[in-house]
């Protein structure tokens, strides 16, 4: 779950991470009022959307007076901000964050994440931050300093040594070491998947201040953090994907014509790869969670039958201990009955109650093309999407 910048800063400030004073505004008048209360030499007005690259897209602007803050806020609010991460559709700016400007002597990039190569939580940083950090790292990966966090916790990590590797000494080095430790502590406490500060400003006095923060929480751990789960911005989510999430289904819309129904993310990715290799175009990614019942799955299928771009539905199920094949078959029957739309359905099932699931489909009056294995299922689906016989 992505959090907005203002939410991320509020949370990290509880862990001792210094952030500039600021508040969120929903109107231009409110933004002007906040600027007057901050009484700073300059201000930053930032569009609050879930996307990086806001500065290059004009979503982060500086102002010298509260009047300028009002003008910038009025210009941003209600507009669609398009960045390299939003895609051409962009994101609607519904609120802005107004904060006091900070005079930085230098700035860095800092993040805590899970390094998949090491299989460990890792603190990474570069000596210079900025929105072009990804391009610079792609050109020269050696600019990234890494500190693997030991499995027994944060105590064994050498944060002072890590600060020294970034050419931070004196007060700046001391403050940075404390910040690094606090970030790692927050990462574990919040069940985060990413904490990113870019840039982290170093002032002339040696203070370290997080000018921009990105905090991503692990959706699978939100049951442990009901207070954080309430921070989800539903307005920024695809309504179709949000409906799927509420029905125990991980779902991502795509631009193809083959609706895909799969249980298990790995099986779903393999199905997508095989479809692409065969010349097919998936219309979605679907991963049925183990907690989904037949009604949940039927609502996920409704999304496919309700998509006019879908020409065929490919069901690739492996019945395990939690999700039985007949549960999925029952869901197909429910969705087909209430959709009123007849699409070719390719059905491949293996594992728990696979054979019985075909009886369920027959009893529900569902017409389908049985597939012996994944390759056969993919061939049938691609042919049906093209209007051909497999």
Per-residue pLDDT of the chain (390 residues; tens, 9 = 90+): 899 999 999 999 999 999 999 999 999 999 999 999 998 999 999 999 988 889 889 999 999 999 999 999 999 999 999 988 887 888 899 999 999 999 999 999 999 999 988 889 999 999 999 888 989 999 999 999 999 998 876 777 899 999 999 999 999 999 999 999 999 999 999 999 999 999 999 999 999 999 999 999 998 898 899 999 888 876 666 667 767 777 688 898 899 999 999 998 899 999 999 999 999 999 999 999 988 999 999 999 999 999 999 999 999 999 876 789 999 999 999 999 998 888 999 999 999 999 999 999 999 999 999 999 999 999 999 999 998 765
What burial letters (b/e) apply to 347-379, b meaning 16+ CB within 10 Å?
Answer: bbbeebbbeebbebbeeeebebbebeebeebbb
- pLDDT for 272 equals 97
Q: Which residues are catalytic?
A: 109, 196
Which of 98, 159, 102, 148 is closest to 129 using CA atoms? 102
Task: Note whether 50 and 98 are within 8 A (CB).
Answer: no
- C-alpha distances out from residue 158 to 151, 162, 164, 174, 350, Å: 14, 6, 10, 12, 50
Q: Please state, in angstroms and rounded to a whole number, the distance separating the CA atoms of residues 216 and 187.
A: 10
CATH architecture of structural domain 21-101:
2-Layer Sandwich (3.30)
Domain formed by 239-385, architecture? 3-Layer(aba) Sandwich (3.40)
Rg (CA), the chain: 25
How many CB atoms sit inside 10 A of residue 199's CB?
21
Q: How many whole angstroms separate alpha carbon 376 and alpha carbon 283?
A: 19
Report the half-sphere exposure of 232 (CA within 13 A, side-chain side). 15
Task: Decide: helix, strand or coil at residue 198.
Answer: strand
Backbone angles phi, psi at 155, to 5 degrees: -65, -30
Buried b (16+ CB within 10 A) or exposed e, 169-188: eeebbebbbbbbbbbbebbe
Rounded to a whole number, what is the largest CA-CA distance in the chain? Answer: 76
Query: How big is the chain, counted in residues?
Result: 390
Bond preceding residue 64 cis, omega within 30 of 0? no
**C-alpha dihedral, 47 to 51 to 56 to 58, nearest 10°:** -20
Q: Rounded to whole angstroms, how far apart are CA atoms 60 and 341?
A: 47
- Asked if 330 and 359 touch (Cβ cutoff 8 Å), the reply is no
Which residue matches tokens 């290059």?
Answer: 56
Q: Going by C-beta distance under 8 Å and a sequence separation of 6 or more, which residues neighbour residue 259?
A: 283, 284, 304, 305, 307, 310, 312, 313, 314, 343
DSSP 3-state of 185? helix
Residue 279 to residues 27, 257, 287: CA-CA distances in angstroms? 49, 11, 22
CA-based torsion, 313, 1, 240, 297: positive or negative: positive
Residues forming a β-bridge with 249: 288
d(CA 31, CA 25): 5
- Can you read off the two tokens belonging to residue 261? 């129904």
Enumerate the domain spans of the chain: 1-19+104-237, 21-101, 239-385
- Reduced to 3 states (helix: H, G, I; strand: E, B; else coil), residue 192 is strand
| DSSP 8-state secondary structure symbol assigned to residue 224 | G
1-19+104-237: CATH number: 3.30.470.20
Instruction: Tell me the pTM.
Output: 0.72
């Amino acid at each position: 779950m992505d959090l907005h910048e203002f939410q991320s800063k509020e949370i990290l400030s509880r862990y001792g991470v210094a952030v500039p004073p600021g508040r969120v505004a929903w109107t231009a008048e409110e933004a002007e009022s906040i600027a007057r209360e901050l009484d700073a030499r300059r201000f930053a007005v930032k569009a609050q959307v879930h996307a990086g690259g806001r500065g290059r897209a004009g979503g982060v602007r500086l102002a010298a007076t509260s009047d300028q803050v009002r003008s910038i806020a009025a210009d941003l609010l209600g507009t669609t901000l398009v960045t390299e991460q939003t895609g051409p559709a962009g994101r609607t700016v519904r609120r802005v964050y107004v904060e006091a400007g900070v005079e930085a002597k230098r700035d860095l990039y800092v993040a805590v994440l899970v390094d998949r190569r090491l299989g460990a939580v890792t603190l990474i940083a570069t000596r210079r931050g900025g929105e072009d950090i990804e391009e610079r790292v792609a050109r020269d990966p050696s600019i990234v300093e890494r500190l693997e966090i030991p499995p027994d916790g944060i105590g064994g990590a050498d944060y002072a040594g890590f600060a020294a590797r970034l050419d931070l000494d004196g007060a700046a080095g001391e403050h940075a070491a404390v910040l690094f430790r606090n970030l790692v502590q927050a990462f574990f406490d919040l069940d985060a998947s990413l904490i990113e500060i870019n840039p982290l400003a170093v002032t002339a006095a040696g203070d370290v201040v997080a000018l921009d923060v990105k905090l991503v929480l692990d959706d699978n751990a939100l049951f442990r953090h009901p207070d954080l789960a309430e921070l989800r911005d539903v307005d920024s989510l695809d309504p179709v994907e949000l409906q799927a999430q509420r029905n125990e289904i991980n779902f991502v819309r795509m631009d193809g014509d083959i609706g895909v129904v799969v249980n298990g993310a790995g099986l779903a990715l393999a199905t997508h790869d095989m479809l692409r290799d065969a010349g097919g175009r998936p219309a979605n990614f679907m991963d049925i969670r183990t907690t989904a019942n037949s009604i949940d799955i039927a609502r996920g299928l409704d999304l496919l039958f309700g998509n006019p771009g879908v020409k065929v539905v490919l069901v690739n199920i492996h019945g395990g201990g939690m999700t039985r094949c007949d549960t999925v078959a029952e869901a197909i029957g429910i969705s087909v009955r209430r959709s009123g739309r007849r699409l070719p359905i390719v059905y491949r099932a293996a594992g728990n109650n696979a054979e019985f699931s075909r009886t369920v489909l027959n009893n529900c009056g569902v017409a389908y093309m049985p597939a012996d294995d994944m390759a056969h299922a993919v061939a049938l689906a691609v042919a049906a999407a093209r209007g051909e016989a497999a």
